[in-house]
Chain A
């Protein structure tokens, strides 16, 4: 009886392992095939798609780096994300903190005004947004794009800060005020460091969003010199279409590389941040 029970359990455990392994292979398969064939010439690829490359063809990568202006595109993406991240974290922390601490109708109204926009899909505002960006002459500029991300991204960050600040004891504020600390200094020196856990979550969620966003940069950045990684990859794909896959694959691998490296270094924080953000958001 107990024998058959443990046998059944072992079989069940083996079956679970099998399902998970199949899932893992499926998840990695496209990336594996992409990496594998990015090191082959077009001819070698058509000859045998599944084989290891007989010799590593680095020319594809050299071409991709050249044609997408990889280092410039990477830098553009960094600039846009950094501007957006800086503004979202600083402005949302300030607003979320004060809105949470101040009672009254005005405070409630402002908080509601911010939260309301979390209902609005980006595609519903994008048409007028391009018009406004043009009027304000921020269209075509990387910093301008970062500023638009601030406008779109602050709501959720304010919501998260607003909830988190409730766990920071009020006595701290009062003690600091008695010590003669001004409001902004109180925030910068005492409060902001205490918000670090939720700041990390907000930084992770927003970096993922802005770095991987495609449509807004597509609408805003018109000059090739300002293209982000995704835009220049998309452009290369448009040029070579369906024909020269070995060139395209290497550019795809290059474009995903920064985030994959970041993931391997920070995965614990990223996975916790995702769970945290979803449960509180």
Chain B
């Protein structure tokens, strides 16, 4: 009897402590998520209170009858692959180089992380100035004529421009994570390897990299997750253009819902497709991490 009232009291306290967080969470996040699933099966236009159920119609239209959407899926995948590879390589490279230095470590760390303090909207506008004004100016006044390209107007170059700005804005974040991991590698291990005659490259490959494997896994999935959701950089830099050549998924959804057609139901279906991409990636992530834990 006494234990029952204690259990009861425990439950009430738990609910009292969780309630404020749960209230905001349920109203704004859970309701939006479930509402989105519901609307994705309707032809709701956002205003009209009357709408009807269309089953998988929106999904079928998005995946078979909407070349713009399919293009944006393709462009997003290309962007994701490039970001995941280059952002991690650059961040890891910077971290290793910085860690190998005695003096100036803190300075480089501070500088490389700096772009992460500002919104990529600001960073994107700033780079737009570089691409459209400064680089043509430099090309005109120096021998670097190759810099005079249509960085924003030509789809081939605008992809490079987007990559440059994304890497500029994102590599520092991962670098901080990798630096923290590198500092966790015991100095004694590296010294032991050096005494055994290992060169610095061998030490890196056989000691350091295996030791920071967990951080690399984190880095891969941080970049996977964030690059699928990229929006700000592209909004500020190219606006998805020229035409819609650089339109990522998030921008396509935004324009479908709020700029062009107000087809909320249809846009919701696209949003669910984005969710499924991210969900799939996360499942793979959990699976890989679990497998690795078993191995170790």
Chain A: residues with CB nearer than 8 A to chain B? 12-13, 16-17, 19-20, 23-24, 26-31, 33-34, 37, 49-50, 87, 90-92, 94-95, 97-99, 102, 106-107, 110, 113-114, 117, 119-133, 136, 147-148, 150-152, 154-155, 158, 183, 187, 208, 211-215, 219, 230, 233-234, 237, 242, 245, 248-249, 252, 255-256, 259-260, 262-263, 267, 270-271, 274-275, 278-279
Binary interface profile of B, 28-46, with partner A (CB < 8 Å = 1, else 0)? 1111110110010000001
**Can you sample 22 A-B contacts with CB below 8 Å?**
A12-B200, A13-B101, A20-B97, A20-B104, A27-B111, A37-B129, A94-B20, A95-B17, A110-B18, A119-B279, A120-B278, A123-B254, A124-B272, A152-B29, A208-B116, A214-B121, A214-B231, A249-B129, A255-B118, A256-B119, A274-B116, A275-B180
For window 43-59 of B, CB contacts with A under 8 Å fall at 46
Most interface-central of A30, A97, A129 (chain B CB within 10 A):
A30
Question: Judging by beta carbons under 8 Å apart, are B28 and A123 in contact?
Answer: no
Question: Judging by beta carbons under 8 Å apart, are A132 and B111 in contact?
Answer: no
Instruction: Tell me the interface secondary structure of chain B in the complex.
Output: helix
The smallest beta-carbon distance between B168 and chain A, in angstroms, is 7
Question: Judging by beta carbons under 8 Å apart, are B109 and A271 in contact?
Answer: yes
Chain B residues near A252: list those with CB within 8 A.
122, 125-126
Give Cα A211–Cα B29 distance, bound, in whole angstroms: 20
Chain A residues near B112: list those with CB within 8 A.
23-24, 27
Give Cα A150–Cα B70 distance, bound, in whole angstroms: 34
Give Cα A92–Cα B278 distance, bound, in whole angstroms: 25
Assess whether B25 is interfacial by the CB under 8 Å rule: yes
Chain A residues near B104: list those with CB within 8 A.
17, 20
Q: A37-B129, A90-B20, A121-B275 are in contact. List 12 more A-B contacts (CB 8 A).
A: A27-B111, A49-B137, A99-B14, A117-B25, A125-B32, A126-B257, A128-B36, A150-B21, A150-B24, A151-B29, A233-B122, A260-B118
Assess whether B147 is interfacial by the CB under 8 Å rule: no
Q: Which residue of A lies closest to B130 (CB)?
A: A30
Chain A residues near B130: list those with CB within 8 A.
29-30, 33
Q: Which residue of A lies closest to B271 (CB)?
A: A124
The smallest beta-carbon distance between A185 and chain B, in angstroms, is 13
Binary interface profile of B, 1-38, with partner A (CB < 8 Å = 1, else 0)? 00000000011011011101110111111111101100
Give Cα A13–Cα B102 distance, bound, in whole angstroms: 10
Assess whether B75 is interfacial by the CB under 8 Å rule: no
Question: Judging by beta carbons under 8 Å apart, are A114 and B21 in contact?
Answer: yes
Chain B residues near A183: list those with CB within 8 A.
13, 16-17
Assess whether B123 is interfacial by the CB under 8 Å rule: yes
Question: Judging by beta carbons under 8 Å apart, are A274 and B176 in contact?
Answer: yes
Assess whether B274 is interfacial by the CB under 8 Å rule: yes
Give Cα A259–Cα B97 distance, bound, in whole angstroms: 27
Most interface-central of B33, B125, B282 (chain A CB within 10 A):
B125
Using a Cβ cutoff of 8 Å, how many contacts connect chains A and B? 260
Question: Judging by beta carbons under 8 Å apart, are B29 and A125 in contact?
Answer: yes
Question: Judging by beta carbons under 8 Å apart, are B119 and A212 in contact?
Answer: yes
Question: Judging by beta carbons under 8 Å apart, are B101 and A16 in contact?
Answer: yes
Question: Judging by beta carbons under 8 Å apart, are A98 and B18 in contact?
Answer: yes
Q: A120-B29, A128-B32, A128-B268 are in contact. Are A95 and B180 (CB under 8 A)?
A: no
For window 137-178 of B, CB contacts with A under 8 Å fall at 137-138, 141, 168, 172-173, 176-177
Q: A16-B101, A87-B24 are in contact. Are A271 and B176 (CB under 8 A)?
A: yes
Give Cα A256–Cα B24 distance, bound, in whole angstroms: 30
Give Cα A12–Cα B258 distance, bound, in whole angstroms: 54
Q: Which of A121, A158, A230 contacts B278 (CB 8 A)?
A: A121
Question: Judging by beta carbons under 8 Å apart, are B94 and A20 in contact?
Answer: yes
Q: Which of B26, B27, B121, B177 contacts A234 (CB 8 A)?
A: B121
Give Cα A214–Cα B17 distance, bound, in whole angstroms: 31
Question: Judging by beta carbons under 8 Å apart, are B129 and A95 in contact?
Answer: no
Q: A121-B228, A128-B36, A252-B126 are in contact. Are A279 and B180 (CB under 8 A)?
A: yes
Chain B residues near A249: list those with CB within 8 A.
126, 129
The smallest beta-carbon distance between B146 and chain A, in angstroms, is 17
Chain B residues near A13: list those with CB within 8 A.
101
Q: Which of A19, A121, A237 contacts B125 (CB 8 A)?
A: A237
Question: Judging by beta carbons under 8 Å apart, are A129 and B126 in contact?
Answer: no
Chain A residues near B282: list those with CB within 8 A.
119
Q: Which of B18, B24, B275 contacts A124 (CB 8 A)?
A: B275
Question: Judging by beta carbons under 8 Å apart, are A245 and B278 in contact?
Answer: no
Question: Judging by beta carbons under 8 Å apart, are A279 and B218 in contact?
Answer: yes
Q: Which of B20, B21, B100, B181 contacts A16 (CB 8 A)?
A: B100
Most interface-central of B25, B123, B271 (chain A CB within 10 A):
B25
Question: Judging by beta carbons under 8 Å apart, are A127 and B271 in contact?
Answer: yes
The smallest beta-carbon distance between A12 and chain B, in angstroms, is 8
Assess whether B117 is interfacial by the CB under 8 Å rule: yes
Q: Which of A132, A212, A230 contacts B32 (CB 8 A)?
A: A132
Give Cα A262–Cα B114 distance, bound, in whole angstroms: 11
The smallest beta-carbon distance between A254 and chain B, in angstroms, is 10
